[in-house]
Amino acid sequence: MLDEPTAHLDDSTRVELVDVLESMQPAKQLLIVTHDEDFQPVADTLIRVRKDPSTMISEIEVTGA
């Protein structure tokens, strides 16, 4: 599990990390929790969680499952 793996990385290092993950042999499971949309091409399944600030209710959208 990678939790916000690009936090505190400069732009070139962030791009390098995304490239490394894209080129890896498929892992059985890899969970990336991030606000960084650069990881979308790496994901087989994308789970996007958004919270409505007025109601504080979360909406979950799953794509690619």
pLDDT of residue 42: 80
Strand runs labelled E in the chain: 2-3, 32-33, 46-52, 57-63
Instruction: Judge: domain 2-63, CATH 3.30.230.10.
Output: no
Q: Has residue 65 got a pLDDT over 70?
A: no
Q: Give the helix/strand (H/E) hosting 16.
A: helix 11-23
What is the 8-class DSSP label of residue 56? T
- Any idea where the domains of the chain sit in the sequence? 2-63
pLDDT of residue 47: 93
pLDDT of residue 43: 86
Per-residue pLDDT tens over the stretch 13-61: 999 998 888 887 666 678 889 988 888 888 889 999 999 999 999 999 9
Q: What pTM does this model have?
A: 0.65
